[in-house]
Chains A and B, each alone.
Chain A
Amino acid sequence: MLHIGHEKVPVCSGPSRRSFLQAGAAGLAGISLPNFMQLEASGAVDISKAKIKNCITLFLVGSPGHLDTWDMKPDAPEDIRGKFKPIDTNVSGIQICEHFPLMARMMDKVALIRSIHHKTGASHENGQRWMMTGHDFNANNPQPYIGSVVSRVFGPSGNLPAAIILPDKIGNTGTSTPHGQKAAHLGSAHEPFFLGGDPASKEFKVANLAPPAGQSEFRVNARRDLLSQIDNLQRRTETKTTRDFDTSYARAFNLLTSPETKKAFDFSEESDKLLDRYGRNTFGQSCLMARRLIERGSRFVTVNHFDTVFDVSCWDMHANGGNLNNTYDDFERHLCPQFDWAFTALVEDLEQRGMLDETVICVLSEFGRTPKINNKGGRDHYPSAWTNFFCGGGIQGGQVIGSTDKIGAAPHDRPILPPQILASIYTAMGIDLETTMMPGPGSRPIRFIDAEPIRELF
């Protein structure tokens, strides 16, 4: 039995994931992905009603140092422990940085994972791919973004795309390799929708939604009818590419014309007080928009906190005096307060709307930062240990999972790898990784991720 969320889908007599995999690999009739897709197309499965929880990931591009934020070592030497001090939280025994005072008051809702690490190169892009796909880089076999997987298997629950990334795609973070926010072999229909605009701006418009200049809604509809006729012709020689195109076009049209879409991106119905509570800045308003999108049918929203690490105040604290010149002052005055204000607003807002238990919030980053402060007062990339955290979605908060050694140089116990984070996200969303499959390259059904979730979270 194949599952799409909690919906059981009879695809074959073989009940187990293993037999499904074996059969898929052997190409046996009756359980191949094309069969599954036909079943889906025939309406046997209403994917729009598949019951899974939603997910909002806040992706801290540039990556804060774990020793300066959520894994402080106040007893370490000065050039290790850094400038900031820990404060108590509302959970006895858990301390975090003094510049997250509001988060400290809701630590009972948060599960810190202090022993994340990966063993590949310390580039931003490596970390981005690990955390967005659960896989290491392989140019010949790029892996899909986690939101695209959710989009492909579960689809949207309304007219909005299932997977959306705000406010924009990740740009230059050092190398020209991918950032892990693409659909890969899942096809263009499941590419995440990039907002491409700044919701904090008064002139905010969703770049991908505005009709082309000079075209009225009537003309857009006329073009749709014409294109629909062309599509019918194309279907006579249908290939996967044309099918992807159809889906992409339909999605784009729905987005362009749907009242839900216009409403989702319109902040005018939110109170000034709530806009203030999230923070009148790009990140804060993106977090608010993430809530609005989830509320209206998107299943997986990622907020990229920064799209570059160069020449902006961001988490990449090298303090190099050049174009990577973030320092403790940026953390204290700008980054930590901004994050603390927006993250806690999101949690409070979801809770007040009764959405927190149905929405998993994950705060992710690419790596940690060097335990020893560099000679310019910054910290450099360090994938050997870092802290990320989960909240909402029924996660057991008020706990710390894993730990690092006395100077935060390596996991001390319960080492956690990025694929386990993704497995945990899927599991927190209610996806049974033992029975739910996704299409692999060549359409062979494969597991979502080859890793076990972190059981302590649930």
Chain B
Amino acid sequence: MDQKYEGQPKAEISLDGQKVIRTDVTNDWGLRLQWQISRDGKVLATPAARADLSYEHPEKEPGKYEIVLQMWKYVNYKKNKEGEFTESKFIDISNKVTYSI
């Protein structure tokens, strides 16, 4: 029996200065939860988000920063020859917030 995941996880995020704050996740699959931090369209980091409801990215280089909350979506464990998942992937589960430095 493979693990089954019900519903569609969802959360709201907001900014307090450069600190991003999230709500609890509804329909929480309980899998890896992470912040995806991008600057000018390029992904900088994906720190874990499970343990705390807020996060402030330490980088202060000028640019437009975008943050979204993601959760791992497990479909199956299939991987290609490089060991990368082919069907399971991280999906956005929140709105996006932006700030500029």
Contact = CB atoms under 8 A, between A and B. Distances in A.
A99 B31 CA distance: 11
B5 interface: yes
A313 B74 contact: yes
A278 B30 contact: yes
Interface string A217-234: 000000000000000000
A333 B77 CA distance: 11
Contact of A281 (B26, B30, B50): B30
A8 to B, nearest CB: 43
Interface string A313-336: 100000101000111011011100
Contacts of B27: 276, 280
A200 B83 contact: no
Interface string A285-319: 00000000000000000000011100111000001
B72 interface: yes
A276 B25 contact: yes
Interface in A376-405: 377
Interface centre among B1, B3, B9, B51 (most CB of A within 10 A): B3
Contacts of A102: 50-51
Interface in B14-33: 24-33
A272 B6 CA distance: 12
Interface residues of B, number: 31
Contacts of B79: 325, 327, 329
Nearest to B9: A280
A281 B4 contact: yes
Nearest to A321: B81
B2 interface: yes
A334 B74 contact: yes
A338 B88 CA distance: 15
B48 interface: yes
A147 interface: no
Contacts of A281: 3-6, 29-31
B6 A200 contact: yes
A51 interface: no
A282 interface: yes
Interface in B57-84: 72, 74, 76-77, 79, 81, 83
A202 B1 CA distance: 15
Contacts of A321: 81
A119 interface: no
Contacts of B5: 200, 280-281
Contacts of A136: none
A357 interface: no
Given A273-B24, A334-B32, A202 B50 contact: no
B76 to A, nearest CB: 8
Nearest to B89: A333
A277 B3 contact: no
Given A338-B3, A377-B83, A272 B32 contact: no
Interface of A: 98-99, 101-102, 105, 167-168, 198, 200-202, 272-273, 276-284, 306-308, 311-313, 319, 321, 325-327, 329-330, 332-334, 337-338, 340-342, 377
Given A276-B28, A337-B32, A342-B30, 19 more contacts: A98-B48, A101-B48, A102-B50, A102-B51, A198-B1, A276-B25, A279-B29, A280-B7, A281-B3, A306-B1, A307-B1, A312-B3, A313-B74, A329-B83, A333-B31, A337-B30, A337-B50, A338-B30, A341-B50
10 contacts: A101-B48, A198-B4, A202-B6, A277-B28, A278-B30, A280-B9, A281-B6, A282-B2, A325-B77, A329-B83
